[in-house]
Amino acid sequence: MTQSQTVAPTRGLSAVPGAVPGPVPAWLDAVLARFDVGRAVAVERTAHGLLNRVWRVATDDGRTWVLKQYLDDAGRASSGALADQHRTIAALAHAGVPTVPPVTAADGRTLVLQRGRRYALFPFVAGAPPATGSGLPPAACAELGALLGTIHAELRRLRPPCADAAPWPSADPAETQRTIAELLRAAHARAPREPFDALAERRLRERRVLVATHAHLRPGPRSAPPAGWVHGDFHPLNLLYRDDRPVAVLDWDRLGVRPVAEEAVRAATQFFCDDRSGVLDLPRVRAYSRAYRAASGCSSEELAAGVHRVWWERLNDFWMLRWRYTRRDDRASALFPAAAAQIVWWSEEYQQVRDAYVN
């Protein structure tokens, strides 16, 4: 989910990027009444977010809100887990982390049930996703690392202690080779053929060689850095910035227990990645990582383990191509060229990347 500048309710919400305008549905005022925030005068369904449905709503009292419907697909969080997630967001905000706690309904809850569907309401925050690649100034890179480090430190303080769930498995290169073969067949059979399909075939053949070459470097099941509570989806579209400063961390739907340092490594590959070549801006990674380690208490050794496991994960991961060829869903296809180029570059410059995170 992304948010942008506030628009006066009387003018509607048509300036929201990626949003689809529409009439105010009858059910919406029933939901808003539970939160006692007035009646809707304009609403737009956003096009962002895969886990839930999200609307931006203007009410007749002049305020703007973000309404989230939690889907009931298999694997989604229970209502109790969502309420716990909301309490965590509020506690982080109280501790000074820029988050957006949900509104409390008239019954004292943050999650309401309307016609069998679960909703939460959040205040709208003005801002836009941060610049990526080399777009953030070095000082802002350090601030970003400190922000994620603070989040991890506060989650460690706020959440109940968690036993490390090791062993954490890693991708099996033999299974990866089978996946590559399946995707190659699917890419070759795609009709009508597009330039993307030729690129996919070339990158898959290249990856087949890379996986075979590096198979002996597969991380062991007990090589992961220590596990703890993490945001779970810390990337540019889940942050709002104003004037190169973070004002809100959004979408805590994947809050959970995982190897903590891996989230720090993974986030940097998304914030400091050239959107064409996939190459990481290593000076910015270094500034970010130093600030992260200082704020989180994470050691260089833990980050080194995270670097290795995330590199291996990316080397064996083809989710964007699975979406295209298995699910017939092209929404992630635009991400593939840079991601495929990045893992080739990362494999060639492995030591330099590792050093940027740990020194």
pLDDT value for 51: 64
Nearest CA-CA partner of 82 in 68, 99, 93: 68
Place 89 in a pLDDT band, splitting at 50, 70 and 90: very high
Which residues neighbour 268 within 8 Å (Cβ) at sequence distance 6 or greater?
145, 280, 285, 288, 289, 357
Does residue 133 fall inside a structural domain?
no
Does residue 298 fall inside a structural domain?
yes
89: tokens are 């967001």
Does residue 177 fall inside a structural domain?
no
Alpha carbons 114 and 111: distance in angstroms, whole number = 10
What residue numbers bound the domain in which 73 lies? 9-123
Does residue 115 fall inside a structural domain?
yes
Instruction: Lowest mean pLDDT of 1-15, 127-141, 161-175, 189-203, name the range.
Output: 1-15
106 and 251 in a single domain? The answer is: no
Does residue 192 fall inside a structural domain?
no
Indicate the average pLDDT of the chain. 89
Which CATH number does the domain housing residue 350 bear?
3.90.1200.10
335 and 211 in a single domain? The answer is: yes
Does residue 175 fall inside a structural domain?
no
Does residue 301 fall inside a structural domain?
yes
- The residue written with tokens 């498995």 in the block is 169
Does residue 326 fall inside a structural domain?
yes
250 and 342 in a single domain? The answer is: yes
φ, ψ for residue 211, nearest 5 deg: -65, -45
- Give whole-number Cα distances, 252 to 1, 68, 76, 235, in Å: 11, 12, 13, 11
338: tokens are 């840079």
Q: pLDDT of 279-305, one tens digit each?
A: 999 999 999 999 999 999 999 999 999
Of 123, 149, 184, the one marking the end of a domain is 123
206 and 322 in a single domain? The answer is: yes
Alpha carbons 325 and 17: distance in angstroms, whole number = 28
Q: pLDDT of 187-209, one tens digit each?
A: 999 999 999 999 999 999 999 99
Q: Is the pLDDT of residue 146 over 80?
A: yes
The mean per-residue pLDDT over the stretch 311-331 comes to: 96
The mean per-residue pLDDT over the stretch 105-118 comes to: 91
Q: Is the pLDDT of residue 247 over 80?
A: yes
Which CATH number does the domain housing residue 105 bear?
3.30.200.20
Which residues neighbour 80 within 8 Å (Cβ) at sequence distance 6 or greater?
none
214 and 258 in a single domain? The answer is: yes
The pLDDT > 70 percentage for the chain reads 91
Q: Is 10 exposed, middle or buried (0-12, 13-18, 19+ CB in 10 A)?
A: exposed
Sign of the Cα pseudo-torsion (209, 212, 216, 221, in order): positive
pLDDT value for 24: 79
The pLDDT > 90 percentage for the chain reads 76
Q: pLDDT of 213-231, one tens digit each?
A: 999 999 998 899 999 999 9
Number of separate domains in the chain? 2
267 and 347 in a single domain? The answer is: yes
115 and 146 in a single domain? The answer is: no
Nearest CA-CA partner of 93 in 123, 56, 133: 123
Instruction: Lowest mean pLDDT of 6-15, 69-78, 243-252, 295-304, name the range.
Output: 6-15
pLDDT value for 331: 87
Place 167 in a pLDDT band, splitting at 50, 70 and 90: confident
239 and 108 in a single domain? The answer is: no
Q: Is the pLDDT of residue 311 over 60?
A: yes
Q: Is the pLDDT of residue 46 over 60?
A: yes
Task: Report strand pairing: 64-70 vs 227-230.
Answer: unpaired
209 and 234 in a single domain? The answer is: yes
Q: In 10 A of CB 124, how many CB atoms?
A: 21
Alpha carbons 22 and 14: distance in angstroms, whole number = 10
245 and 291 in a single domain? The answer is: yes
Cis preceding-peptide flag for 192 (omega within 30 of 0): yes
Give the range with max mean pLDDT: 52-66, 108-122, 306-320. Answer: 306-320
160 and 308 in a single domain? The answer is: yes
150: tokens are 């603070």
349 and 227 in a single domain? The answer is: yes
Of 123, 158, 188, the one marking the end of a domain is 123
What pTM, to 2 d.p., does this model score? 0.89
Per DSSP, helices labelled H in 168-234 are 173-189, 195-214
